[in-house]
């Protein structure tokens, strides 16, 4: 009897291995949970910068990391910038308010798959749609699908306003005009759509751009005519004076033919143009009535400041990141002077911190965009730069420093 009691007590106690297993599972769950919460709620995303990005870079190639990043963003697994932007960062352009001047440059989300998560990272402009994209039709479907999801969600909140819209399946223009909201479907943030042309099209033809304006214009707050990507043969030739003027005229006619409120139309240029070519671009842009210029795309040159072995440096393709900055800034200054500061300029090229962004603003950029530093340092980059700008600005506002270097 005594023996059997002892036996039953011993059976109720979990063996040491079970306790150890539970301890390990418990500890791992807590560590994982805390890490995930820190990852998800930290607007500067330190884990992303110091762990996720380096690991990805070491275990896989750039293209796979990029696809993975888009996948993560598409399903909303990346951290959000949960802090609201300080009013000192606000800026107005094309009749719209931006909560901050920092945008994601074109090419990151070529198919328009991760729009909302990218906005949640704190960018005020998202710029997308490049060359190895799924094409106008598919991107249009993605954008339409996004509208449907938005309407479905708002129908629960405002059934009266959205009921008729839900049945009519509107495009971006009719929906945003009816509800009085941006095409980005966000307050103080704008959606830019960047249009390129097909490799197989006649190099002198501007038809692809005209088609892009017509089919994707209704979904965009800004349309960007990209004549500066170095990887599409002949594309940069469209910056030649005569053909550039024709291109601008045709896309403006196409944009003006859109119903509803019209997206702003910008042109994105290369950083490799001579002073005379930049003057021609500036003059044509002013004459055409285009709404702004993005300076710049990647460079085909290989500046001396490039720390890389010669075999890598001689790879074909566009160079981005810090070595591009002096070229892009020089071009932006030239355009600003030629246009007497009358055209809205977007500075892009090698911006990786607040000082870089402010240098562009002082040179005349109303807004700035970045790509490479975001790709390298990860999702907390925007918050880091915004905080840095605020501390550099002291008691000034972003708008006070635009074009500051030319004043007095």
Ligand X SMILES: Cc1cc2nc3c(=O)[nH]c(=O)nc-3n(C[C@H](O)[C@H](O)[C@H](O)COP(=O)(O)O)c2cc1C
Q: Is 123 in the site for ligand X (CB under 6 A)?
A: no
Stretch 24-43: interaction string toward ligand X, x if CB under 6 A: --------------------
Q: Is 350 in the site for ligand X (CB under 6 A)?
A: yes
Nearer to ligand X, 127 or 176 (CB): 127
Burial 266-304 (b: 16+ CB within 10 A, else e): bbbbbbbbeeebbbbbbebbeebebbbbbbbbbbeeeee
Nearer to ligand X, 113 or 171 (CB): 113
Q: Is 349 in the site for ligand X (CB under 6 A)?
A: yes
CB-based contacts of 199, cutoff 8 Å, min separation 6: 131, 232, 233
* H helix intervals, 240-347: 241-256, 275-288, 310-313, 325-338
In Å, how far from its chain's centre is CA 5? 70
In Å, how far from its chain's centre is CA 38? 24
Cα separation of 235 and 229, whole Å? 7
Nearer to ligand X, 343 or 348 (CB): 348
Q: Cite the active site residues.
A: 229
Nearer to ligand X, 366 or 372 (CB): 372
Scan residues 253-282 and list those touching ligand X (CB under 6 A): 268
Segment interacting with ligand X (CB under 6 A) among 19-27, 156-164, 349-357, 384-392: 349-357
Considering CB under 6 A, how many residues would be counted as binding ligand X?
22
Minimum Å distance from CB 257 to ligand X?
Answer: 24
Segment interacting with ligand X (CB under 6 A) among 105-113, 147-155, 181-189, 400-408: 105-113
Q: Is 324 in the site for ligand X (CB under 6 A)?
A: yes
CA angle 82-87-89, nearest 5°?
85
Q: Is 353 in the site for ligand X (CB under 6 A)?
A: no
R_g over Cα of the chain: 25
Minimum Å distance from CB 306 to ligand X?
Answer: 13
Q: Is 209 in the site for ligand X (CB under 6 A)?
A: no
Cα separation of 275 and 140, whole Å? 38
Which of 45, 351, 358, 361 is in the footprint of ligand X by CB under 6 A?
A: 351
| Chain position carrying tokens 């009013």 | 87
Nearer to ligand X, 148 or 330 (CB): 330
Segment interacting with ligand X (CB under 6 A) among 160-168, 259-267, 274-282, 370-378: 370-378
Segment interacting with ligand X (CB under 6 A) among 78-86, 207-215, 320-328, 386-394: 320-328
Name the helix (H) or strand (E) containing 367. Answer: strand 365-370
Burial (CB < 10 A; 0-12, 13-18, 19+), residue 245, is middle
Cα separation of 75 and 231, whole Å? 30
Q: Which two tokens mark 262?
A: 């019209």
Map residue 35 onto helix, strand or coil.
Answer: helix
Minimum Å distance from CB 320 to ligand X?
Answer: 3
Nearer to ligand X, 112 or 349 (CB): 349
Q: Is 382 in the site for ligand X (CB under 6 A)?
A: no
Return the number of other C-beta atoms located less than 10 Å from residue 57's C-beta: 13
In Å, how far from its chain's centre is CA 145? 20
CB-based contacts of 362, cutoff 8 Å, min separation 6: 401, 402, 403, 404, 405
Minimum Å distance from CB 174 to ligand X?
Answer: 28
Segment interacting with ligand X (CB under 6 A) among 28-36, 37-45, 339-347, 371-379: 371-379
Nearer to ligand X, 111 or 148 (CB): 111
Cα separation of 296 and 330, whole Å? 10
Q: Is 102 in the site for ligand X (CB under 6 A)?
A: no
Which of 264, 281, 348, 393 is in the footprint of ligand X by CB under 6 A?
A: 348
Which of 117, 162, 176, 229 is in the footprint of ligand X by CB under 6 A?
A: 229
Which of 162, 215, 297, 339 is in the footprint of ligand X by CB under 6 A?
A: 297
Partner residues linked to 92 by β-bridges: 97
List interacting residues with ligand X (CB under 6 A). 105-107, 130-131, 194, 226, 229, 268, 297-298, 320-321, 324, 348-351, 370-373
């Amino acid at each position: 009897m005594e023996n059997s009691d002892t036996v039953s007590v011993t059976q109720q106690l979990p063996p040491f291995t079970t306790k150890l297993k539970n301890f390990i599972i418990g500890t791992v769950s807590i560590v994982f949970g805390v890490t995930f919460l820190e990852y998800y709620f930290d607007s500067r995303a330190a884990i992303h910068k110091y762990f996720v990005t380096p690991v990805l870079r070491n275990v896989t190639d750039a293209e796979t990391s990029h696809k993975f990043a888009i996948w993560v963003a598409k399903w909303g697994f990346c951290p959000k910038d949960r802090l609201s932007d300080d009013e000192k960062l606000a800026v107005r352009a094309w009749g719209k308010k931006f909560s901050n001047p920092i945008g994601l440059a074109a090419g990151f989300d070529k198919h328009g798959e991760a729009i909302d998560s990218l906005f949640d990272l704190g960018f005020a402009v998202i710029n997308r749609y490049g060359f190895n994209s799924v094409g106008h039709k598919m991107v249009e479907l993605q954008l339409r699908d996004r509208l449907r999801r938005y309407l479905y969600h708002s129908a629960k909140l405002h059934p009266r306003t959205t009921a008729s819209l839900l049945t009519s399946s509107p495009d971006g223009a009719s929906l945003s005009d009816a509800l009085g909201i941006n095409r980005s479907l966000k307050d103080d943030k704008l959606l830019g759509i960047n249009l390129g042309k097909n490799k197989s099209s006649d190099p002198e033809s501007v038809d692809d751009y005209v088609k892009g304006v017509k089919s994707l214009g209704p979904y965009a707050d800004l349309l960007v005519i990209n004549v500066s990507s170095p990887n599409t043969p002949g594309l940069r030739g469209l910056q030649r004076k005569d053909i550039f003027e024709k291109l601008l005229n045709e896309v403006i006619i196409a944009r003006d033919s859109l119903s509803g409120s019209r997206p702003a139309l910008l042109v994105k240029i290369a950083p490799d143009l001579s002073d005379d070519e930049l003057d021609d671009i500036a003059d044509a842009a002013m004459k055409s009535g285009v709404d702004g210029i993005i300076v710049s795309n990647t460079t085909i040159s290989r500046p001396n400041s490039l720390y890389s072995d010669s075999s890598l440096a001689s790879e074909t393709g566009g160079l981005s990141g810090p070595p591009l900055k002096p070229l892009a800034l020089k071009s932006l200054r030239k355009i600003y002077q030629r246009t007497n500061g009358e055209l809205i300029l977007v500075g892009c090229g090698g911006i990786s911190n607040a000082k870089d962004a402010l240098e562009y603003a002082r040179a005349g950029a109303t807004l700035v965009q970045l790509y490479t530093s975001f790709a390298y340092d990860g999702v907390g980059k925007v918050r880091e730069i915004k905080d840095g700008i605020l501390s550099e600005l002291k008691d000034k506002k972003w708008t006070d420093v635009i074009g500051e270097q030319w004043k007095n």
